[in-house]
Amino acid sequence: MKKPPVLLIGIIGILACFIAIIKLDLVYDAETMRNQNDISVIVLPVERFLQNSTLLPPPGTELVRRNGNLEWVNLPAFASRIANVHVSSVRFTSGAPLLSSILDDDPTYSIEVVATVTTVDGKQIPLRLTFWDYGLVTPWFVQSRGDGLKPVSVSWN
């Protein structure tokens, strides 16, 4: 009877340890994001929300999710009018190491959307929006398992 090669067993062991402890942090630029369906489906509602918002509130305004939709809380009347929105990058971060997330029945991830909002008076305002949801982040795909992104924070950089 042949003994399995020690090198192969060692490589499999190292790979298993790596999968057990790695916590994924994936960054996509706008072009890649639009070409990967699993990612664009998750980010599209955020991009649509920003593009359909006619007003950009001042820093400190809270973003919430009500009845499945994103909306600004107490949007002041003097907010800047939006002319254009460009999402430049998206970062997905797993809430736990890969193996834990795969074995978990309700894994979580966070998403950070970096966008530039151009107002009608020509000002370009960088926004960083952070959300969380239930789902799985792997090196091969991002799978949302929740009912939509939940806002965590918005920063006007």
The answer to whether the CB of 53 falls within 8 A of the CB of 84 is: no
Q: Is residue 14 part of a domain?
A: no
Per-residue pLDDT, 10: 81
Q: Is residue 47 part of a domain?
A: yes
Q: Is residue 91 part of a domain?
A: yes
Question: What are the phi and psi torsion angles at 115 (to 5°)?
Answer: -135, 155
Per-residue pLDDT, 101: 86
Q: Is residue 39 part of a domain?
A: yes
As averages over each run of 10 residues, the pLDDT of the chain (157 residues) reads 73 74 76 76 86 88 90 85 90 87 90 93 94 90 89 90
Number of domains in the chain: 1
Q: Is residue 54 part of a domain?
A: yes
Q: Is residue 138 part of a domain?
A: yes
Per-residue pLDDT, 19: 66
Per-residue pLDDT, 134: 95
Q: Is residue 2 part of a domain?
A: no
Full domain range(s) for residue 44: 23-156
Structure token pair of residue 4: 């399995």
Query: What 8-state DSSP symbol labels residue 12?
Result: H
Q: What is the DSSP string of 37-101?
A: HHHHHHHHHHHHHHHH-SEEPPTT--EEEETTEEEESS--TTPEEEEEEEEEEEEEEESS-HHHH
Q: Is residue 34 part of a domain?
A: yes
pTM score above 0.85? no
